[in-house]
Structure 1
Amino acid sequence: MVTSIILMNVERSKINEVAQQLADTEGVSEVFSVSGTYDLVAICRVPTNDDLSELVTRGLLTIDAILKTETMLAFKAFSRHDLETMFTIGLDGI
């Protein structure tokens, strides 16, 4: 599994719309609106580097309001938050 973090500058009036489009995109697992230099951050998880290339060079191009991106490739995860435990009855894992 290849994990990447994509930082995006987006047209201000379209941030929420773009965030939803990204969230609906295959390979994008999470989208955050953030403060600072960038408007949105997307966490992407895809099977291969080729899939990431397709997502970044073709998939994101279909969203006109994205002005600029910076893609970072994650090498290693040092901590893991088990999202599955959040969805168990009673939220015992939190």
Structure 2
Amino acid sequence: MQNAVILINTEKGQVKPVAERLADVEGISEVFSTCGRYDLVAIARTRDFESLAELVTGRLNDVEGIADTETLNAMQVHSRHDLETMFSLGW
């Protein structure tokens, strides 16, 4: 499994439409709108590096309204989220 964080700036006035388009792209699991240096943060999860490369250099280029991106390829995942979800009582 390959995970990456994709930092995205959109063209003016395109944050919401780009976020909605990205959410439908295969390999993108979450899209967050943010304040600060980047407009959006997308989390990519693909089966292998080749699939990630196709996502970043291929499918993202087809999303209208993206001005530029920066991709951070995750080396290791450090998360308590999955553990907390497993032991949650659903409150």
Query: How far did residue 78 of structure 1 move?
Result: 1.4
- 1:92 equivalent to 2:89? Answer yes
Give the partner amino acid of 1:7. Answer: L
Matched, 1:72 2:69: no
Across the two proteins, how many residue pairs are aligned to each other?
89
1:57 corresponding residue in structure 2: 57
In the aligned structure 2, how far is the partner of 1:93 from the partner of 1:74? 29
Instruction: Report sequence identity in percent.
Output: 49
**Counterpart Cα distance in 1 of 2:57 and 2:8:** 14
Unaligned runs of 5+ in 2: none
Whole-angstrom distance in 2 between the partners of 1:7 and 1:35: 12
Residue in 2 that maps onto 1:47 = 47
> CA RMSD of the aligned region, Å?
1.9
Distance 1:47 1:66 in 2: 24
Q: Which runs of 5+ in 1 are unaligned?
A: none
Report the Cα offset of residue 64 of structure 1: 2.4
Q: Deviations over 1:34-63 (max 9, x none)?
A: 011100000000001100110011101111
Instruction: Give the TM-score, by structure 2 length.
Output: 0.88
Query: Which residue in 2 is equivalent to 1:13?
Result: 13
